[in-house]
Structure 1
Amino acid sequence: MTITTGSKAKNAYKRLEQETHLSGKILLKNGIKCEDTNKKEPMADSSIIDGSNRGRVAIFIDGVNLFHAALQLGIEIDYLKLLCRLTADSRLLRAFFYTTVDISRQTATRPRANEKQQGFLFWMRRNGYRVVTKEVQLTDNSKKPNLNVEIAVDMITLAPHYDTAVLVSGDGDLAYAVDAVTSKGARVEVVSLRTMTSDSLIDVADYFLDIDSIKHHIQKDSYPGYNYRTLSNSNL
C-alpha cells in the first residue's frame, strides 16, 4: 500500500467554497451511485474532494453526532449523497456508520420503539455502509451514550489498510485516536459542524471541513425520493 506522506499542518481549518448545484449523469463508483464530477465547478480548495492524492479512503461516521449537526442546520441528510461526497474520486475501503439503538420497553405512547430506526439501518446496510450499533436503554437520567471506543478501535485497527480516514464527528474524545492514526502516516480529514467540533480534534487532524459549507449538497431533495421504511413493509 502506498502511504501518502508530507508535512502536516496543525490546526488547518480548510473550508470549501460552496459549489453550484450538482448535475449530470449518475456514475457507479465503489458500488454506490454518484454524480458526474466532471460537471462540477472548480473549487478554491479541493483537498477533501480531489481523490488523486488520497489513496484508499475509510469513512467513520458518528451517527449521533451527525444527527444533532443536521438538526442544528435544519436539514435531513441524504446518505447516498454524503457517501459520494466524502468518497469523491477516491477508492473506498469501507464506510462505517456508528449509532445507538434504543431497546427500552415499548409503552402505550411508543408501541414500536425503534422499528423505524431498524428500517433505516437496514437501508444503510444495503446502500454501502457497514453499520455498527450499541444497544442502550434511554432514560431521563441516563448518561448520553456514544460509540467513541468502537470508532477509535476501528480507526486504529484499519490504519495499515487505508491512506486517508474521513472522520465525521466533532467529539474531542476522539482526538487521541486521530493523533495515533496520523502518527502511523495516514491522513485524517475531520468533517463536522464547526460549532460542535472540539478545537483539540481540529488541532490533530490534517484537514477540517465545516459541514455547513456542503449542507446544500448532502441534504435530501424536496421532492419525494427514497425513504427509510420500517422492516414490516420494506422491500429493500
Structure 2
Amino acid sequence: MNINTFTKAKNVYKRLEEETPLSEKSLIKNGIKCENPKKKEPRAENSTVNDLNRGRVAIFIDGVNLFHAALQLGIEIDYLKLLCRLTAGSRLLRAFFYTTVDISRQTHTRPRPNEKQQGFLFWMRRNGYRVVTKEVQIADNSKKPNLNVEIAVDMITLTPYYDTAVLVSGDGDLTYAVDAVTSKGAKVEVVSLRTMTSDSLIDVADSFVDIDSIKHHIQKDSHSSYNYRALSNSNL
C-alpha cells in the first residue's frame, strides 16, 4: 500500500510538497528569513493544508526520534530549513525541541563530556527553538529514555493558544495526547519516517507527512555557513 496515495475520511496522507509555499517573512527573532520556494515548487490545486486554515502553529519535535529518522535516511538535518518548512508561512506560536543529555560518562577529568551537544543546543536556542532537556544515564538504564511526558504535557497545556500542532515523532506512546488535543478542537499534523511511525498515532492525527518525502528540503548542505561547535566557556 502506498502511504502517499491512500486516503480516508478522517485522515489525509499527503506529501508536504503539496502545501502552500513559504511566505517571505522572518520567523526568527534574530532576523533569519525562510527562503520562498515558490518558483521551484508550484502549489498543488488539491492542497488540503495551507496557511489559511492552519491558524497559529505550535511545533513539538522529538529530537531523539528525529535523529534516528535522519540516521536511517542518511542525512543531517538543517534545523533552520526544518523550522521554515514546518511553519510553512503560518503564524508560529513556539517551536519546542526535546532531547536527552547523557551524563553517564561524566568524570573528574571530563566534567562536561557533552560539550558538542551543548554547543548544538545553545545554537538551537539562539535560532528559534525552545529547548527542553532531560538528563539520563543511558549506560545504567535498560529502558529507552524519552521525553514523551514532557511533550504530552506541553501539547495539551498549550492547546488553547494554537490552532495546529505539528508533532515530529512517530512514537505510539503519544497517541493519547494527540487524541486529547484533537478532541479540544485543534488539528495535529504528524511528521515522521513512516517505517518508524505507529499506526495508532497516524489514526488519531489529522494528517501525516513522511519525512522521506521532504528530506531534500530539510537536509543540511555541505557548504552550510554555520556549525554546532563545542562551547569552551559556557554556563549551560
Q: Name the TM-score, length of structure 1 as normaliser.
A: 0.86
SS at 2:120 equivalent? helix
Contact persistence 1:13–1:202 (CA under 8 A): no
1:93-132 correspondence to structure 2 within 5 Å: 93-106=93-106, 112-132=112-132
Residue 145 (structure 1) aligns with: 145
Residue range with higher mean Cα deviation, 203-212 or 136-145: 136-145
**C-alpha separation between the residues in 2 aligned to 1:212 and 1:77?**
12
Contact persistence 1:57–1:162 (CA under 8 A): yes
**C-alpha separation between the residues in 1 aligned to 2:204 and 2:212?**
21
1:135 to 1:168, Cα distance in 2 relative to 1, 3 A: same
1:130 to 1:9, Cα distance in 2 relative to 1, 3 A: farther
* Matching residue's letter, 1:83: L
- State the Cα deviation string for residues 89-115 of structure 1 (Å, max 9, x = none): 100000000000111233699885211
SS at 1:51 equivalent? coil
Q: Which has the higher contact order (CA 8 A, sep 6+)?
A: 1
* Matching residue's letter, 2:228: Y
**Which runs of no fewer than 5 residues in structure 1 stay unpaired?**
1-7
1:14 to 1:38, Cα distance in 2 relative to 1, 3 A: closer
1:175 to 1:63, Cα distance in 2 relative to 1, 3 A: same
Deviation at 1:214, TM superposition (A): 0.4
Residue 207 (structure 1) aligns with: 207
**Which runs of no fewer than 5 residues in structure 2 stay unpaired?**
1-7
Deviation at 1:43, TM superposition (A): 3.8
1:17-166 correspondence to structure 2 within 5 Å: 17=17, 27-31=25-29, 32-44=32-44, 46-48=47-49, 50-106=50-106, 112-139=112-139, 142-166=142-166
1:189 to 1:224, Cα distance in 2 relative to 1, 3 A: closer
- State the Cα deviation string for residues 114-171 of structure 1 (Å, max 9, x = none): 1100000000000000000000011165211000000000000000000000000000
Q: Percent identity among equivalent residues?
A: 84
* Matching residue's letter, 2:27: K
SS at 1:39 equivalent? coil
1:47 to 1:225, Cα distance in 2 relative to 1, 3 A: farther
SS at 2:138 equivalent? coil
Residue 227 (structure 2) aligns with: 227
* Matching residue's letter, 2:26: L
* Matching residue's letter, 1:28: S
SS at 2:214 equivalent? helix
Contact persistence 2:34–2:81 (CA under 8 A): yes
Contact persistence 1:55–1:163 (CA under 8 A): yes
- State the Cα deviation string for residues 48-86 of structure 1 (Å, max 9, x = none): 5x2111110000000000000000000000000000000
- State the Cα deviation string for residues 187-225 of structure 1 (Å, max 9, x = none): 100000000000000000000000000000000012142
- State the Cα deviation string for residues 2-60 of structure 1 (Å, max 9, x = none): xxxxxx943432234589xx9x9974235342002443422436445x21111100000
Residue range with higher mean Cα deviation, 76-85 or 223-232: 223-232
1:224 to 1:109, Cα distance in 2 relative to 1, 3 A: farther
* Matching residue's letter, 1:29: L
Backbone CA RMSD of aligned residues: 2.7
Q: Name the TM-score, length of structure 2 as normaliser.
A: 0.86
